[in-house]
Chains A and B, each alone.
Chain A
Amino acid sequence: MVGLSVGEKHFIQGGIAQDLRSDGRKRLTYRPIYVETGVIPQAHGSARVRLGATDVIASVKAELGKPSALQPDKGKIAIYVDCSPTAAPMFEGRGGEELSTELSVALQRCLLGGKSGAGAGIDPTSLVVVEGKVCWDLYIDGLVISSDGNLLDALAAAIKAALSNTGIPKVDVAAETTSDEQPEVNISDEEFLQFDTSGIPVIVTLTKVGRHYIVDATSEEESQMSSAVSISVNRKGHICGLTKRGGVGLDPSIILDMISVAKHVSEQLINKLDSEIAAAEASEEES
């Protein structure tokens, strides 16, 4: 992706070894994160997150649907990510598909929990309107506008911000319905319900370069990585998901070490993100 000369590669690797990266960061420092909410007026909730030159948008769209027969007490949530060709020439045509799928799957794993829906960051039971009949379907779409590494963390942060920005319309159900019929519903356009986003995890990606690992790698640093582990951690410090990329294997002890580091880093990230989201919402109301 990024062409670097031998000298530059060497410089980047040396910087990571010496705990002073090319832009002056330490190994475990994030770039300044910048959140903007309510960027898409048609969506129920949306947010834009920037991490350096990485720029992503997430939008949440809610639709009334029927819950699946197997899980009548749960709503459905779908996460898709699209890589815009404006981000990099390689995303043109079908070029971005592989990365899009990879990101979507990783996000689904980290945010939606298991197949049964247990342990999900977004509680699917809160989406049910009438059990077995009516529920909300959430469509969460991510769009990568500009890519400078660490897309997964940025997307997870954007989804978290978009969900806290989401207002689901209140639904009144007509009382008299027989058990077979689909109940009549009345969607209110004034009252909105907010999500409880406190349980939504953030994703911390630790990229291993040489003997050390770093958070929030730029695309130049990512080109030097041997492997990367993405760990999603919620506010309580519990691990919600874990994915590994890159071909090189990792020693189990390193993974354990990475997890404890990710837990530590995630605390700061969650606090930072929460304050940014609050600031973004405040400025949105102002304007």
Chain B
Amino acid sequence: MRGLQLPLSQTQRIRLQRALEKLQSLSCKANSDASVTVADTIPVNYEDAFLKGHGTTDLNGDLVATVCGVVERINKLVYVRALRARYKPEVGDIVVGRVVEVSQKRWRLEINFSLDAILMLSSMNMPDGIQRRRTALDELNMRGIFEENDVVCAEVRNFQHDGSLQLQARSQKYGKLEKGQLLIVDPYLVKKSKQHFHHLEQFGIDLILGRNGFIWVGEHVEARDSMVVDQANSSEQSMVPEEKSQTHTPLEMRQNICRISNAVRVLSALGFSIDSDLILETVELSSTVKIDIHDMLGSEFHVLVAEREAERRSLMGKRKR
């Protein structure tokens, strides 16, 4: 929270502190020793054998954390999962990435992992939708599908033996993302859930929460057939770029996109985990208090969101009990 640097007035500071204390008191009851900072001792049962994992060290017989994060225990292994770290992919995760290179039979994607991820041409759905071997012609037309700097949505397929990551996009819902903006948040804020593609019908907007912290907010695309542009189509598009640039996103839609994006920005600045419900709630809050879209990034709205979240979590806690 010390990372949050906002010009707060005296009353705002007190309100924010109160909200954060409330949040902390709520989370502390569950597992107080789960989150550690550097030099915190990690309680372990010394009678049992245990393995020191990442982010831990032995200091005078105590197990001590060397990074800030959450203690994870898997059988004997005790390690600390750092929060502000690069994304650690898991097979099946939905990620959003940016193409950095088009090379032979593959695209390289930046996904905030320690290596670039690889999307093979063979793990893509072909434009004509037919299952077949990829020919040399397909390889030549790769830029017709994705170019450098394109934003692409895909799924983590598997790890190679050398540690590099393979992606796949074998469905209509994956593919190129256009008409919107990409937001980058800390990966730990996006939790794994059943649904990472959200079509917010009331706004007509697609929200894709990539597990790597890349969040896409854009215009809703029906059926997502356009991701795979076939040859005739792409040549047609290149002929009329002027005409295309006239069709901007409608203003109302753009307002919604900006409102949702700013909601995500506020939540990530406050360090709240980001899911679609919370985003929608924040958007609703912003509309009910009739705040201007840009003023959502001001201090007052940050305080308001923190208070609301504290209230919500305390209510949830009561309901459970």
- Contact residues of A with B, CB < 8 Å? 3-8, 10-15, 17-18, 20-26, 29, 31-32, 34, 50, 276, 279
Contacts and interface: CB of A to CB of B under 8 A. Distances in A.
Nearest to B178: A7
A29 B177 CA distance: 28
A7 B179 contact: yes
A100 to B, nearest CB: 25
A24 B259 contact: yes
A50 B254 contact: no
Given A4-B149, A5-B147, A11-B249, A24 B178 contact: no
B178 A20 contact: no
Contacts of B176: 5, 7
A21 B296 CA distance: 14
A199 to B, nearest CB: 26
A250 B150 CA distance: 31
B7 interface: yes
A279 B9 CA distance: 10
Given A5-B147, A6-B178, A276-B7, A20 B297 contact: no
Contacts of A279: 7
Contacts of B218: 7, 11
B181 A20 contact: no
Interface in B247-277: 248-249, 251, 254-255, 258-259, 261-262, 265
Contacts of A34: 5-7
Contacts of A22: 181, 258, 261
Interface in B180-201: 180-182
B169 to A, nearest CB: 16
A3 B98 contact: yes
Contacts of A13: 245
27 contacts: A3-B148, A3-B149, A5-B178, A6-B147, A7-B150, A7-B180, A8-B178, A10-B179, A11-B179, A11-B181, A14-B248, A14-B254, A15-B258, A18-B248, A18-B254, A22-B181, A22-B261, A23-B258, A23-B294, A24-B261, A24-B262, A24-B294, A24-B297, A26-B294, A29-B294, A31-B297, A32-B297
Interface string B221-264: 00000000000000000000000010011010011001101100
Interface centre among B7, B147, B182 (most CB of A within 10 A): B7
A276 B245 CA distance: 40
Interface string B24-67: 00000000000000000000000000000000000000000000
9 closest A-B pairs by beta carbon, nearest first, are A7-B178, A24-B293, A14-B248, A3-B149, A24-B294, A24-B258, A5-B150, A25-B294, A5-B149
Contacts of A18: 248-249, 251, 254
A109 B261 CA distance: 38
A23 B151 contact: no
B298 interface: yes
A7 B177 CA distance: 8
A17 B248 contact: yes
Q: State which size class the interface on B falls in.
A: 35 or more
A13 B7 CA distance: 30
Given A11-B249, A14-B248, A32-B298, A23 B178 contact: no
A23 B149 contact: no
Nearest to B259: A24
Contacts of B248: 10, 14, 17-18
B130 to A, nearest CB: 27
Contacts of B162: none
Nearest to A3: B149
B3 to A, nearest CB: 13
Given A20-B251, A22-B258, 7 more contacts: A7-B177, A10-B178, A10-B248, A15-B258, A24-B293, A32-B7, A32-B297
Nearest to A10: B245
Nearest to A20: B254
B67 to A, nearest CB: 20
Contacts of A7: 150-151, 176-180, 218
B128 interface: no
A236 B265 CA distance: 37
A21 B255 CA distance: 9
A157 B77 CA distance: 52
A149 B216 CA distance: 22
Interface centre among B6, B181, B265 (most CB of A within 10 A): B181
B314 to A, nearest CB: 30
A133 B149 CA distance: 60
A22 B254 CA distance: 8
A3 B259 CA distance: 24
Nearest to A279: B7
A20 B151 contact: no
A274 B147 CA distance: 47
